[in-house]
Every structure is written in C-alpha cells, then in structure tokens.
C-alpha cells in the first residue's frame, strides 16, 4: 500500500466512523474495530478490514491486528476512540455502569496501546491518538465516574508520551467538548439526558463528528518529528 495502515476502535458510529471516512478518503488502508460489525461494514470503505472486536478482549484485538498487518503492513496509527459515557450521580448510579466505563474507556485503551506499541518502538515510528474528552481536564455535573475514566486517559497519554519519546513514537490526545454522537444515548437517566440536551441547545448546537476527524487528520499529517500533544476542541459557545 502507498500509505500505511490506520487502526480505529469504536468505528461503528460518531467520531470513529468520521475518522474512518477521513483517513480512507486520504488513501489509507484501515482496520476498523467495533462490536457492531454490520455498522462498520456499511461504511463500505475500500482497503478496509472490519472485525467485531470488543476492546476489552485483548486477544481478539491482537488477532485482528495481526490479520490486518499481514495484508496492509504495520500499523502506523492507532486511534483509541471506543468509549462509553454513562452519566449519573455517584449516590444512585449502578456500580456496574462504573465498571463498564472503566473497562472500555481505560482498560480497552490500554489493550490497544499494548497491541501496537512494541512494534512501533522497534520500528522507530508510529502514532497513538487517544480520544479523551474535555471531561478529562475538568469536572461536570453527573459526570464523576466518566470524568475519572477520561482523566485516566489523559494521564496515560501524557505519561506514555514521555516514556516513548526517545523512540520517535508519537502519543497524542484530542479532548472534544460536546459532540453530536450516540454517546449520550447510553445514559439510563432520562432526566440527565434531558438536562444535557437542554445544555446543548443553550449553546446553539455542538460539534459534529467530522470536526473531530479533521483535527485527528491534521495532527497525524505533521512530520513524525512533530507531535501535537493535545488538542482541546469545542463549540465556540461552549463555556464549560
């Protein structure tokens, strides 16, 4: 392939699907991972391998990666996008929701990093782009457990960046504000969903997934010796 392999998790909708379209349009072969394989297959992108992988399954992740690299060569970019946002108050939220968020948002991210990192370090190039959140930098009402996962993502990103910098491997993060995706629909409290939707309305609308995809592509496009460590991107009228 003329351009190297890009691996994207949580690619079935929203930001992941938008990033997939952006990089496919630029000529990159893709490995797309998501639990809903029919959704990633429906994107109908050329030179793309679609696999129904849950990021909490490290072995399945590695097997899909080996399969894609056998066809397209080594992964040059991993976009850790898979995530779950289950908003709730800590005194009433089900602990199972905390576990689900930490399993997917943090442990799943670590699984992806470990799958590609050794090969990137050995080759002396590669990029890991973690999709965090503005909630990885500040608190929000009803977000305590979710904020904890995203602070973890941001901290892991920065710590790993320092560890592998001498290997010329880039580690970077995007911290989106509110984006129009399916993420909110995972929340079980209708009251919290209604309040969130009202908040979005007060700012005259929020970002589109394509806004994040363009930022991701811009970061990756820079020469390997240039690492845009962190972009925080939000609607202009989003104050928090």
Catalytic residues: 146
Cα 8–Cα 9–Cα 13 angle in degrees, nearest 5: 95
How many Å from the N-terminal Cα to the C-terminal Cα in the chain? 43
E strands of the chain, at which residues?
Answer: 5-9, 30-33, 48-51, 75-80, 127-131, 170-176, 230-233
Determine the Cα–Cα distance for residues 181 and 98; give it in Å rounded to an integer.
21
> Angle of helix 209-221 relative to helix 14-25, nearest 10 degrees?
50
Tokens 């976009």 sit on residue: 79
Q: Which of 176, 151, 154 is nearest to 229 (CA)?
A: 154
Residues contacting 91, CB < 8 A, separation 6+: none
Determine the Cα–Cα distance for residues 119 and 134; give it in Å rounded to an integer.
30
């Amino acid at each position: 392939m003329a351009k190297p392999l890009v691996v994207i998790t949580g690619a079935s909708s929203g930001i992941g699907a938008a990033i997939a379209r952006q990089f496919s349009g630029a000529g990159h072969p893709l490995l797309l991972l998501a639990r809903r394989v029919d959704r990633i297959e429906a994107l109908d992108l050329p030179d793309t391998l679609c696999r129904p992988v849950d990021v909490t399954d490290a072995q399945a992740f590695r097997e899909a990666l080996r399969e894609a690299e056998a066809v397209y060569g080594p992964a040059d970019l991993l976009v850790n996008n898979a995530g779950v946002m289950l908003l709730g108050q800590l005194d009433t939220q089900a602990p199972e929701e905390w576990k689900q968020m930490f399993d997917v948002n943090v442990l799943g991210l670590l699984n992806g990093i470990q799958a590609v990192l050794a090969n990137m370090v050995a080759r002396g190039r590669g990029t890991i782009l973690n999709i965090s959140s503005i909630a990885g930098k500040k608190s929000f009402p009803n977000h305590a457990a979710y904020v904890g996962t995203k602070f973890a993502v941001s901290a892991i990103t920065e710590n790993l960046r320092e560890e592998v910098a001498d290997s010329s491997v880039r580690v970077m993060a995007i911290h989106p504000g509110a984006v129009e995706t399916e993420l909110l629909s995972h929340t079980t409290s209708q009251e919290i969903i209604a309040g969130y939707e009202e908040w979005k309305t007060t700012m005259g609308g929020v970002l589109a997934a394509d806004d994040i995809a363009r930022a991701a592509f811009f970061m990756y496009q820079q020469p390997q010796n240039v690492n845009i460590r962190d972009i925080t991107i939000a609607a202009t009228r989003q104050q928090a």
